[in-house]
Structure 1
């Protein structure tokens, strides 16, 4: 075991930090930046073990890579300041990254949001390249980052596509159904709170990520067919009720926020016919909590297209054009403002009195613009 030196550079000053880890030549994923605040950040990376794991049966034998995840917690940083970090201290570009701490005052900033990046990685790559060019302060993902969260190769692909973005721009995801509540998700990401649902703030804005998937479970084989729907609807009701109480408490505590953005995976308003009833059931559970607390925007994914709906002063936006195969729009709802079957991501420009949401398609064209007024 060798020493790995992580070098943190601020302007012209170098602060070396020593820790025990493998040689930087073994770094297979990362480095990438996580959980940035106005005075802290976490640098993450993963090294590949020299031993692989093998599983076989009478017909097939597979070798799977094993990873060790590493984190360096950086504290006592200055707000709104750019830092450069090295892992290994050799000055190699693949060992380096930059990030900017969040401001500790109310001032303008930008963030990007996209979802359902789990397939068609060429599409995802184009979005990543455009987001890098725009250089937002951070990125949100509404879930389904990978096709199968239990498959390590899918995570390898995700981090390969996003490596140039994530080494410098912090990434705040929500759990999707395709993450499958995987341990890989929690190993690779360092997020606020309990990491399943959490909040963070930047300037005058509050961000809340919710988990509408719950704990992964298997349906018992002994359940009768007529009882399965009841089981599915009630298996995790206690978990969701606890989360809803947390959400109510969080929104009450942060009532002074000028902007509130909530994001999660499955939408509360769907324009995909086969998913309309499921969306209505979710909306019934969450009730008017977002509208009652003056949440301006609720982002979601899952339905692979762009959909903008409006209800009770809250914008409900489905942004799921990150790469997965697009879905037809075949059930417009009374709340629908605009719906487009297209690959896209959203750039948000948070200003002192308004936030401008620009929806950008695969060719870089603006296909929709939404102006959000500051909460009163």
Structure 2
């Protein structure tokens, strides 16, 4: 079923009858998809402030206004066309397809660490589009510096054709820096830092491994540094952990559970081994106890899959950032390769198939997980 959706009346209220349609800077792009609702976002340029350094060099920094429209009373599993400008051009057009109410096969894509090498990122996006996913999850570090609007300009330029037709769910990485731009540009469930959504009987949970963006004061000594950081984030992460337990309990009948976080629980890098061990210690057996099938993360720029007591821990961070060497092998490691890639997850009735594909479309490995009983 296909329907045409006109947004002109909403735009008149937003911009006024006398104002010409503005040129879109970012978007349009799709957020918060459901079975009967969706959100469409886009941004327009409103000014160009400047900043001058002591040598007299002037830098222009664009300011944008962010727009979003929440759409309700849509039909499940239905394709709509939309036009946020309705001016006779293709600039504001796209399509959205609501999620099905019934349990039906679908696929989604996981990618991560797209923050640099935009030419590589563009090639990965082109391959992703060939799979025609219902949605995308980026496992964090979407950009190099979340507080630099120039980085977001590059990100949306690379993804514009993908995001105008496909919902895009981001994960907070350390390079997002808890930036206000992140929360302005994306419209996400829950508190936007960690959230969940469902498609059919599959549960998708996005976690935040980063916490609040704060700086350690200069007067804090090395002796007290670790205690400073533990105390700064302990309450936040404990609250998030309690939230996760509740979400998993509420959705215990879900056939598939996929969890996404930026930092890994198992790292194939020597210099990140200790950090991964701390992360595992914090979460404990929560993923095994709730029979989570797959935990996706980014941060380590390569592909790595480890398994422990039925849970696949997959590092997928090959969407553009410079690749990292694999210099440490864990007993849990099943596959590790230094390559640009993405994961196409095909969710079927009784199983999910993870097709790990490199930037040229070659298969790295295929992983099968069974539906939870």
TM-score bracket for this pair, using the shorter chain length = over 0.9
Tell me which residue corresponds to 2:174. Answer: 177
Tell me which residue corresponds to 2:207. Answer: 210
SS at structure 1 position matched to 2:156: helix
* Aligned counterpart for 1:11 among listed residues 3, 10, 19: 3
* 1:279 Cα deviation after fit: 0.3
Q: Deviations over 1:36-69 (max 9, x none)?
A: 00010111000001x3212223123322100000
* 1:232 Cα deviation after fit: 1.9
Query: In 2, are the aligned partners of 1:261 and 1:299 still within 8 Å (CA)?
Result: yes
Structure 2: runs of 5+ lacking an equivalent = none
Tell me which residue corresponds to 1:78. Answer: 75
Tell me which residue corresponds to 1:297. Answer: 294
Whole-Å Cα distance in 1 between the matches of residues 277 and 41 of structure 2? 39
* 1:70 Cα deviation after fit: 0.3
* Aligned counterpart for 1:58 among listed residues 38, 41, 54: 54
Tell me which residue corresponds to 2:41. Answer: 44
* 1:15 Cα deviation after fit: 7.0
Query: In 2, are the aligned partners of 1:109 and 1:349 still within 8 Å (CA)?
Result: yes
* 1:91 Cα deviation after fit: 3.4
* 1:27 Cα deviation after fit: 1.5
Whole-Å Cα distance in 1 between the matches of residues 87 and 131 of structure 2? 29
Whole-Å Cα distance in 1 between the matches of residues 78 and 166 of structure 2? 13
Tell me which residue corresponds to 1:333. Answer: 330
* 1:154 Cα deviation after fit: 0.1
Seen in structure 2, the aligned counterparts of structure 1 residues 223 and 94 have a Cα distance that, compared at 3 Å, is same
Q: Deviations over 1:94-133 (max 9, x none)?
A: 2100010001111100000100000111111011111112
TM-score by length of structure 1 reads 0.95
Tell me which residue corresponds to 2:309. Answer: 312
* 1:333 Cα deviation after fit: 0.4
Tell me which residue corresponds to 1:20. Answer: 14
Stretches of 4+ moved more than 2 A in 1? 9-19, 21-26
* Aligned counterpart for 2:239 among listed residues 232, 237, 242: 242
User: Is 1:148 the equivalent of 2:142?
Assistant: no
Map 1:102-251 onto structure 2 (within 5 A): 102-251=99-248
* 1:134 Cα deviation after fit: 1.4
Tell me which residue corresponds to 1:365. Answer: 362
Tell me which residue corresponds to 1:4. Answer: none
Seen in structure 2, the aligned counterparts of structure 1 residues 10 and 24 have a Cα distance that, compared at 3 Å, is farther
* 1:24 Cα deviation after fit: 3.2
Seen in structure 2, the aligned counterparts of structure 1 residues 346 and 277 have a Cα distance that, compared at 3 Å, is same
Larger mean Cα displacement after TM superposition, 109-118 or 21-30: 21-30
SS at structure 2 position matched to 1:93: coil
Seen in structure 2, the aligned counterparts of structure 1 residues 135 and 91 have a Cα distance that, compared at 3 Å, is farther
SS at structure 2 position matched to 1:154: helix
Tell me which residue corresponds to 1:274. Answer: 271
User: Is 1:352 the equivalent of 2:349?
Assistant: yes
Whole-Å Cα distance in 2 between the matches of residues 23 and 150 of structure 1? 30
Q: Deviations over 1:314-367 (max 9, x none)?
A: 000000011100111100101101101100000000000000000000110111
